[in-house]
Amino acid sequence: MKRTVITNKITYVEPDSMAHFSSCAGIIVQSNEKVFIDTNMGSEETPGLLELEKPDAAVITHYHLDHSVWTRYVADHSNARVLIPKKEEPYLTSLDFIIAHTAGPFGMSDQWTDFVVNQRGYRPLTIYECYSEKASFQDLVPEMVILETPGHSPSHSSFYFPDEKILFSGDVGLDRFGPWYGWADCDIKALVESILRLDGLEVGLVLTSHGGIIKKEIQKAFFNSIHHILRREEKIVRRLDKGMNKKDIIEQGVFYSDKEKIREPFKSFLNMWDTAMFNHHEALIKEGGLMAFFPEISGMS
Ligand SMILES: [Fe+2]
């Protein structure tokens, strides 16, 4: 685990490894109370971090496993309140719901359930509170602004500190891989709107879940993430124009290329996520493509 002190209030924490969706980077905020956001350092390190830091609250940006599984052992290792995004409550409290709204539609329920439960330790959350953009963390961190930034997930949230101009952007896709929308409940248009919303803030430093710290050329990072989506769309259009079919396009890769050498079940998972991402692009292309909805992105570079 690596700790980076950002201000006297905010510490950025990164796990040693982010392999197989087991962890993500997060922040520890010391304000009126001590709040952990997305501090999933993996199953070995998170309990110790909770015991050492004794947070008052444990917050997640969205329900995806790499961000949320640690909420299950918060109660065993601390007295922290667990706070989850209101609209994603059913994903976090019902195994049937999360499977039906993730791998279910792709015929991968059994393999995914095994991974989610046995490898990643999913258990339905029972003790928690819900937050939403409207309900601020007044008692915990009054200076922090919650921003709903959906698209990557139905109710993904980012956290903004206007006084310091610092943004914790969670999983909106500011890393070198670009935005991810590999479930049916993802939404490309909402995701682009969210990125544009964050781009509209005055930000001097961005802390991300999977792409480290962004200090320079922040606006470029936002543009690049949107351009990732645009380039994927253009690639799909070119391949469709050439007469390639859906199966071959997915095999060549929408987000994940070189899937051949990956071992199971991950190979099937990657294929499932690329299928979902293709489906999102296909639907958008039928509506006229990304530029039809966001003409302003043509001028971004
Ligand atoms: Fe995610």
Q: Delineate the domains of the chain, giving CATH numbers in brackets.
A: 2-217 (3.60.15.10), 226-299 (no CATH)
Provide the token pair at 110.
């059994």
User: What's the CA-to-centroid distance between 59 and ligand 1, angstroms?
Assistant: 14
User: What's the CA-to-centroid distance between 53 and ligand 1, angstroms?
Assistant: 25
The helix (run of H) or strand (run of E) holding residue 146 is: strand 145-148
User: What's the CA-to-centroid distance between 242 and ligand 1, angstroms?
Assistant: 33
Nearest to 196, CA basis, from 283, 291, 296: 296
User: What's the CA-to-centroid distance between 211 and ligand 1, angstroms?
Assistant: 12
Quick one: pLDDT at residue 301?
A: 60
User: What's the CA-to-centroid distance between 195 and ligand 1, angstroms?
Assistant: 15
283 Cα distance to chain centroid:
22
User: What's the CA-to-centroid distance between 273 and ligand 1, angstroms?
Assistant: 12
pLDDT of 144-155, one tens digit each?
999 999 999 999
User: What's the CA-to-centroid distance between 129 and ligand 1, angstroms?
Assistant: 20
User: What's the CA-to-centroid distance between 158 and ligand 1, angstroms?
Assistant: 12
User: What's the CA-to-centroid distance between 163 and ligand 1, angstroms?
Assistant: 27
User: What's the CA-to-centroid distance between 71 and ligand 1, angstroms?
Assistant: 15
User: What's the CA-to-centroid distance between 65 and ligand 1, angstroms?
Assistant: 8
Distance CA 120, CA 66 (A): 9
Quick one: pLDDT at residue 173?
A: 95
- Looking at the DSSP bridge assignments, the partners of residue 136 are none
User: What's the CA-to-centroid distance between 60 and ligand 1, angstroms?
Assistant: 11
User: What's the CA-to-centroid distance between 241 and ligand 1, angstroms?
Assistant: 31
Between helix 218-241 and helix 188-199 the angle, nearest 10°, is 160
User: What's the CA-to-centroid distance between 67 and ligand 1, angstroms?
Assistant: 7
User: What's the CA-to-centroid distance between 243 and ligand 1, angstroms?
Assistant: 33
Report the amino acid identity of residue 51. Answer: E
Quick one: pLDDT at residue 18?
A: 76
Nearest to 36, CA basis, from 191, 118, 144: 144
CB 43 within 8 A of CB 185: no
- Quote the pTM value: 0.95
User: What's the CA-to-centroid distance between 153 and ligand 1, angstroms?
Assistant: 7
CB 68 within 8 A of CB 62: yes
Q: Which residues of the chain have pLDDT under 70?
A: 301
pLDDT of 256-266, one tens digit each?
998 989 999 99
- Tell me how long the chain is: 301
Is the bond leading into 154 cis (omega within 30 degrees of zero)?
Answer: no
User: What's the CA-to-centroid distance between 66 and ligand 1, angstroms?
Assistant: 7
- Looking at the DSSP bridge assignments, the partners of residue 146 are 159
CB 199 within 8 A of CB 192: no
Distance CA 106, CA 109 (A): 8
